[in-house]
Amino acid sequence: MLIIRRINAKARSYIPLIKSGQTGLLLSTGIAGYLSAHTHPDLAVLIGLAGSLFLAISGSTILNMWYDSDLDTVMNRTHNRPLASGKVTKKEAFWLGAILSMIGVGWAIYIDVQYGLVVFAGLFFDVVVYTIWLKRRTSWSIVWGGISGGIPILAGRILAIGQIDLVGLLLMMAVLFWIPTHILTFNMRYYDDYKSANVPTFPSTYGFEATRAIIALSAIIAAASIGVAGVMIGIQAGALRLMAVLSTGLLLLSFATVFRPSEQVIFSLFKYASIYMLASMILLSL
Amino acid sequence: MKVTTLDRILLLVTCLLSAYQVVVGINGLENIPTIAYTMAFGVLLVAGLLILILGYGVLDSPVVVVVSTMIPLGLSLGLVWEYNIAWRIPYLVFTLIGFLAIIITRSTRMPGRIPTVILAFVHGVAGLIVFLLPCILAARGITNPGFALVGFGGALIGLGGLLLSFLKAGRPIVSREIILRIFPWILLLMTTAFVAGFAFA
């Protein structure tokens, strides 16, 4: 009984390492990328896609947390995370992240080599280029974070159609430009945290006004990319109408962020952008 | 006032119903009613999402007065375009001028009662059409009797609009707590009535 209880407790301390909300959203983009092809979906392939992506995304997230555990300890927002608070050791996190990543990428290559290589590229950009190389050096590291975030949807699309096409790149671009609304909002909201951890961010490099403008511009480009991709995919008129409605909401919030900035408006754009992305993924799959 | 879990559920269902109406409920209509209904249900959807994200504080924004006008204006324009062919163009002109007038009077510091009179007039006309036209059509047997539900939705939107107007004017008919407590119910009932009514039409 004691062993089972210990395993349960350990498993519970591992769960926050994968940032379930973020992983779930990225996973949903991968599935949407696959379904956006509107080919006859193969259930076995779909399960393989979901499983391999879940493992690869979870693995890279854990490796990020492993590498950034010193930053998490300094920052108020993150000091309760399992690694920073000492609930999980660095060694454990590293091995867990590495094993999940290897199984995820291995499974992806087993399903389809091209798809597997793209998944590996996403993991490489996220862990090596974004986290290890650039995050502590330049605020522009988020571009690489964005590219790796856009990989699951591209990978899903590639798995369905067997090649990289313009729609796949547009979908990837939509996620790439959605990510700044997420990260830059955090950068502004927890400005002092990032400052004390010496992590360069857009607000600390270019100021709040420029950051708000970038958030708004990113949201607009994300909405435009997903809209054009939707038209090119040939989604139903009703789904396109709904996408237009949701995009209008996103654009209005983006303008409010620039012209009537407040913490409330920026936070609402951040939340709305996540709902927007999830809804768009569902609509692209219809 | 805090948005409770029940409020969240009600608002979420309202959003889903509005989304359903935009995606499925208005398929096959002409361009103008499609755009008009999309605007009306789109505002309902985005407003519901913003209340879910930001809470009831969002209702205090002055933009709400202008944006919420799009619901009765969009619905009434769609209804007139579909069921009263002779009045199509005049009502389209009324809708555009009315909406423009509301934007201008609300975004400039216009003195006196002009902004209130314009808002009451445009809202009143649009609200009456949404309430009366479906009831008349249903009563005359031109549409399915169930179409009268759209009129019921119109009555509810009028009630919600009145409660919010008095609240924003600082002279609430009932307390702010009661208004906000019943607000998600009104939104849901109204949206359900619209969606069901249009389905019956």
Which candidate from B19, B53, B57 shows the least CB-CB separation from A242? B19
Instruction: Tell me if A239 and B23 make a contact (CB, 8 A cut-off).
Output: yes
Mean pLDDT of B140-160: 92
Give all domains of chain A, ordered by start, each with its CATH number.
18-285 (1.10.357.140)
Out of A225-239, A244-258, B17-31, B164-178, least confident range = B164-178
Task: Provide the CATH topology of domain B5-200.
Answer: Rhopdopsin 7-helix transmembrane proteins (1.20.1070)
CA B157 to chain centre: 6
Instruction: Tell me if B50 and A272 make a contact (CB, 8 A cut-off).
Output: yes
Fill in the DSSP letter of residue A112.
-
Tell me how far apart the alpha carbons of residues B122 and A185 are, in angstroms, rounded to a whole number: 39
Mean pLDDT of A16-41: 91
Question: Does residue B110 carry a pLDDT above 80?
Answer: no
Question: Does residue A119 carry a pLDDT above 90?
Answer: yes
Query: Nearest CA to B92 among B70, B77, B73?
Result: B77
DSSP-derived secondary structure for A52-85: HHHHHHHHHHHHHHHHTHHHHHH-TTTTTSTTTT
**Chain B partners within 8 Å of A246 (Cβ):** 45-46
Tell me how far apart the alpha carbons of residues A64 and A230 are, in angstroms, rounded to a whole number: 32
**Chain B partners within 8 Å of A241 (Cβ):** 22-23, 26, 34, 38
Question: Does residue B92 carry a pLDDT above 80?
Answer: yes
Q: Which residues of A touch B (CB under 8 A)?
A: 236-239, 241-242, 244-246, 248-249, 252, 264, 267-268, 271-272, 275, 279
Query: Nearest CA to A141 among A127, A131, A149?
Result: A131
Question: What is the per-residue pLDDT across A166-192, written as a single tens digit (0 to 9) for each?
Answer: 999 999 999 999 888 888 888 888 899
Domain ranges of chain B: 5-200
Mutation target for A interface from B49, B51, B63, B103: give the one with most A CBs within 10 A: B49
Mean pLDDT of chain A: 91
Nearest CA in chain B to A239: B23
Question: Does residue B60 carry a pLDDT above 90?
Answer: no
| Chains A–B, number of C-beta pairs less than 8 Å apart | 48
| Tokens 């990510």 -> residue | A179
Question: Does residue B165 carry a pLDDT above 80?
Answer: no
Question: What is the per-residue pLDDT across B123-141, written as a single tens digit (0 to 9) for each?
Answer: 889 999 999 999 999 999 9
Ordered alpha helix ranges (H), B108-201: 114-139, 148-168, 176-200
Tell me how far apart the alpha carbons of residues B59 and A93 are, in angstroms, rounded to a whole number: 46
Instruction: Give residue A245's pLDDT.
Output: 93
| Tokens 């009104």 -> residue | B186
Nearest CA in chain B to A246: B46
Query: Nearest CA to A279 among A44, A25, A93?
Result: A25
Question: Does residue B43 carry a pLDDT above 90?
Answer: yes
Nearest CA in chain B to A245: B42
Instruction: Give residue B80's pLDDT.
Output: 96
Question: Does residue A256 carry a pLDDT above 90?
Answer: no
Instruction: Give residue A31's pLDDT.
Output: 95
**Chain B partners within 8 Å of A264 (Cβ):** 54, 57
Tell me how far apart the alpha carbons of residues A62 and A103 are, in angstroms, rounded to a whole number: 14
Instruction: Give residue A84's pLDDT.
Output: 86
How many percent of chain A have pLDDT more than 90?
59
pTM of the model: 0.83
Instruction: Give residue A13's pLDDT.
Output: 84
Instruction: Give residue A211's pLDDT.
Output: 92
Question: Does residue A2 carry a pLDDT above 90?
Answer: no
Mean pLDDT of A242-261: 88
DSSP-derived secondary structure for A167-200: HHHHHHHHHHHHHHHHHHHHHHHTHHHHHHTT--
Question: What is the per-residue pLDDT across A59-93, written as a single tens digit (0 to 9) for each?
Answer: 999 999 999 999 988 888 888 888 888 888 999 99
**Residue A19 backbone zone (phi > 0: left; psi -120 to 50: alpha; other: beta):** left
The CA angle A48-A54-A58, to the nearest 5 degrees, is 150
How many percent of chain A have pLDDT more than 70?
100
- Rounded to 10 degrees, what is the CA torsion of A223, B48, B50, A286? -20
Which candidate from A239, A245, A252 shows the least CB-CB separation from B45? A245
Query: How close is the nearest chain B Cα to the Cα of A195, in Å?
Result: 28
